Structure 1
Amino acid sequence: MRAAPDLPPHRKRLLLRCWRRGTREMDLILGPYADARIQDMTADQLAAFEALLVENDQDLYAWITGQSPAPAALAAVLEPVRRFHGIG
């Protein structure tokens, strides 16, 4: 996790949640993505990303890697994560 002293507290908390998921695979997928993007997310993008973080790691991993189809409501949030990592 990069040091983020200039981020507002809410964004810092989300960044920490991305790096402390529970499975190392999701830490390594969501952590670098959040490091690179969380500062520039709009309020709407941030709310959608936060909604994504309540999903369990096994489902998120399957959706991001394409092992199973993602719910339509999360597709717009998952796609930038997939592109960031060159998946799909």
Structure 2
Amino acid sequence: MSEDAELRRLRWRCRRGMRELDQLMLRYLDGRWPVADEPERALFLRLMDTEDDKLWRWFMGRERPEDTGLALILALPH
């Protein structure tokens, strides 16, 4: 798959049930994805498989993911 096609697919997957989550996920995709290494990209893809309500609690700092990899990607500057 070409890089452009992959970015379009990921951009579509970043569309969540909440506008705020959309913006947070797209901020990562636009700012970090282009410079991220493969392990970091894999973490982001795992993050995208998480349910919206969990993502929201994690982003708002109400909970922390048990998975240390997901906690690390949430802590990255976007």
Could you tell me whether the CA contact under 8 Å between 2:11 and 2:26 is conserved in 1?
A: yes
Q: TM-score, normalization: structure 1?
A: 0.72
Equivalent AA in structure 2 for residue 51 of structure 1: R
Match of 1:42 among 37, 42, 47: 37
Matched residue, 1:14? 10
Report deviation, 1:77.
1.5
| Residue pair 1:11, 1:38 contacting (<8 A) in 2 also | no
The 1-side partners of 2:8 and 2:66 are apart by 27
Q: What's the % identity of the aligned pairs?
A: 30
Gaps of 5+ in 1: 1-5
Residue type at the aligned position of 2:60 = T
Q: Tell me which residue corresponds to 2:71.
A: 75
| 8 A Cα contact 1:26 1:61, kept in partner | yes
Q: Tell whether 2:23 aligns with 1:28.
A: yes
RMSD: 1.9
In structure 1, distance between residues paired with 2:53 and 2:9: 22
